[in-house]
Structures are given as structure tokens and as C-alpha cells.
Amino acid sequence: MSSGDQVALIARRMTQVIALIVTILLPLGYWVITFSNLSVELQFKAKVKATSFSSLINSNPGLWIYAENQMQGRLTREPVALETELVQVYDVEGVLITQAGQIPAPPKLSRRYPLYDGVGVVGQIEVSDSLRGLIYSTVVVSAFGLLLGASILVFMWAFPLRALQQTLQALVDSEFRFHTLVDLLPYGVQENDLTGCVTFVNPAIEHMYCQRKESITGRFIWDFLAEDLERESLRDYLQFLIREQPPLTPYFSKVRHLDGSVIDVQIDWAYDRNKHGQVKGFITIISDITERKQMQEALQEQATHDPLTGLFNRRALNETLLHELYRSQRSGEPLTVAMLDLDHFKQFNDTYGHEAGDLVLQAVSELLRCSLRASDIACRYGGEEFTVVMPGSSLDNARNRLDEVRQAIGHLRLRYQNDELPPITVSIGIAELIDQETDSATLLGRADAALYQAKEQGRNQIVVATILRNYKIDPGISLS
């Protein structure tokens, strides 16, 4: 076989391989990326909608499934509006309760997220969208890939004497298309070698890091991290990946810009291997998730904080107090809990209106925030009642500091609609954790009993719950 025939044969084989790759991988890659993005978006919307239902469920336990108008409002508008999706709410038995949005044309993709009422799962939210548009676009991409592959194949077979030149040109064109696609991606694409040195970045990385490509390549991947401690751990993690080659898992971190600002990023990565299957580096997709994380934190804030006062709510109190109780038992440090109740608050509301009452609650909450230590936890227990958890504070110390709070509340002078409101007084009950106590409800119950005693003794005072240190607690008895 002449060298010309050999070149032609090699060129044809290369042409067949290129045509096959273009025809299969182009639509397959498009499908995988687009389907994955749609799945993540539906899962995120399901989680957001489920989180927004928490306040409705907790405020109407057992009855929320009948609040049709409120559920429709949350499904269609809060906290993110529907586009082409269908949102359905199911109870714990899987029975459809309500739905909103457009019914997607088959086939469809659905993602679910459970609903909780603070005790357990009470239902599920399902968000669905049609795959028809994705299928149509994939067909178009497939046709384009098939046409492109066939064109390359026919052209190279029709001109065997120029096969090698045409093949090389096709490879150059293919590389150009690849780099164009990578440059147009909204996600950052980055490559690094086994030492952690950056060897390639796309324009999205330049925009994300606020630096030019020349300032990024040649530096180590940990140079861009915001926290010094994580830089050392990332070096160790890179060596672990090279040595053990575990399954691919996303990596979450913080990146610092040149101006000092910090963003949250999600890093999805893959091994870059040579023709022998040996790892020669890593390819990473870096996404800026700052807005998503801020939204998650905002939702967490709504779930754990009282919207009127900004203090922790009762749900957060239950979790925090149990944690502090266990910590106190392990460390031996004291733990004191106080129950506060504004005196004659109902009469105040009836006389001056609920808006004035809200003003009072906000002022007292702000005073608590300013008066307590950073380690103390102030919560709105409900209505005009507040709870303060004071880790590491003895009974005497807590009583003295809370008496200062009581006096400061009495000195508050508030105005509403140009009228000065009357002075506010508060009754306080205090209880200190004892050795035998293992139940946060018992500790709260003793503080509440002391509060009740302060009310009975004339209000505007502090009463300390007392109990014999060697008294053995019966779990069925509420101590005071």
C-alpha cells in the first residue's frame, strides 16, 4: 500500500471517528447538561415552596390542608413565582390536596420535597415541568450533529488525496468550536495539574475572580480561597484525591476577590486522565452560588426567627435549649433560664391598639438584644412572653442582670401617634438547671411556675424557682 493510500486510509478512519463523536456526543452532552439543570431547578423550587409552607403548617397544625386560599398564594407567588411548572401538594398518604400552575405536557420531569410540622413529615410538595421542549431542542441538536458528522464524512471520502489536510483542519475547527462553547458558558471552567497549578480558565472564571486570565493561570488553586485555614486543608485534599481517587463529589468553598469581597462557590470536578488512564490533573466547573446561599439563609432566618421582633422563635428555642442543656451537663457549667411576661399587656392592647402593642414588643426585644451577653439567647415565646437562655450564668448572676433588664424596661418611654404611652413593667421567673434534670421542658416549667408566682405576688418583680439539690426528679412531676 502506497503512502498516499495509507494517508487516505488513516484520514478516513479519523474522519469516521470524528463524525461518530460529533453525531453522538453533541446531543448527548446537550441532553445531560440541560436535563441536569432542569432537575436541579425543580428540586430547588420544591424545597423553596416546602420551606415557605412551614409557617402555614406550624400555625395551623392539622388544619393547614383546608387553607386553600393561603396554599394557592404560596404555591403561585411565594417566595418564587411559577413559570411553566405545575406544583402539587400531597398529604402523608400520597393523596393530592391542591395544585397550581400549568399541567405539563407529557413526558414530564418531577421533583419532590417533604413537608414538616416540627414533629415529622406531614406531606410532600411536587414540582413538575414538561420535557417536550428539551426533547425538541435535543432533536434539533442531534440533527445538527448528524448533519455535521455526515458532512465531514462525505467531504473527506470525496477528496482522499487531501484527506489528511482536511482532517487536521476539521480538528482545528472542532477545537475552535469547543473553546467557543467553553467561553460562552455562564459557569466557570478551570483546569489544574497534579500540583494544583491552574493551567486553563474560561472568561467566566475571569469575571468570577475579577482578574485577567494571565493573573490566574500559573497560580495555585488555593491562592484564591478566602480562608487561610482552608488553604492548607485543600492542599491535603488534593493529595488525597490523587492517591485514593474517590468518587466525584461537589466541593463548596469561599473565594475572595481582589477588592476583598467574598463569594460562595460550588466546585464540580472530574479527573483529567491521559491515554493510559492515569490522572494528570483535574477539570472543574465553578458556579457562583452566593445568591442561592443568601436565599437559603433568608429562608432559614424566616424559619427560626420571629418576624415582628427579630428574636428567635419558639421552634429555635426548643432546639437551642436542648443543645445548651446537654452541653451544660457535659461541661458542668451552670445554665439558667428566665421567663418574662409584660404586665397587663392585654389591657394595653385593648386601650391603645395592636399597633402600639407591636411597638412595645419591638422596643422590649431591642432592649433585650442590647442588654444581654452575646452568648445569651433571647426568644419570643409567644404573645407578650419572652424566654432568655443564659449559658454559663449562675442563678445569682442571672438574677442581677435580669433585674437590670427589668428596671430598664420600666424606664422605657415610648410614643405612638404623638402620644406618650404609659410605662411598661415586666414579671420574671428564673430557674437554674440542677444535676438531676435531663428534660428541657421541666426546666422551662419551673421558670414558668416562678413567673406565675411573680404575677401572683403583685407583678414587676423577679421570682427564683427553688428546689432541693438532692431531690430526685420524677419525670411525671412538674417542679416549681
Q: How many Cβ atoms are within 10 Å of 338's Cβ, its own excluded?
A: 26
Residue 379 in grid coordinates: 426568644
Is there a catalytic annotation at residue 384? yes
Q: What share of the chain is helix, strand, coil (3-state, %, to 5)?
A: 50, 25, 25
Name 61's Cβ contacts closer than 8 Å, sequence gap at least 6.
117
Q: Please tell me which residue in 126, 324, 384, 437 is annotated as part of the active site.
A: 384
Start-end of H helices in 289-340: 290-304, 314-331
Residue 225 in grid coordinates: 480561597
Beta strand 415-416 pairing with 419-420: antiparallel
Left, alpha or beta for 281 (phi > 0: left; psi -120 to 50: alpha)?
left
List phi, psi (to 5°) of 14: -65, -40
Distance between CA atoms of residues 155 and 144, nearest Å? 16
Which residue has cell 452541653?
A: 327
Torsion 466-469-471-474 (CA) sign = positive
Beta-bridge partners for 190: 201, 284
Start-end of H helices in 60-131: 68-76
Torsion 38-44-49-50 (CA) sign = positive
Distance between CA atoms of residues 17 and 11, nearest Å? 10
Residue 434 in grid coordinates: 440542677
- Residues designated catalytic: 384
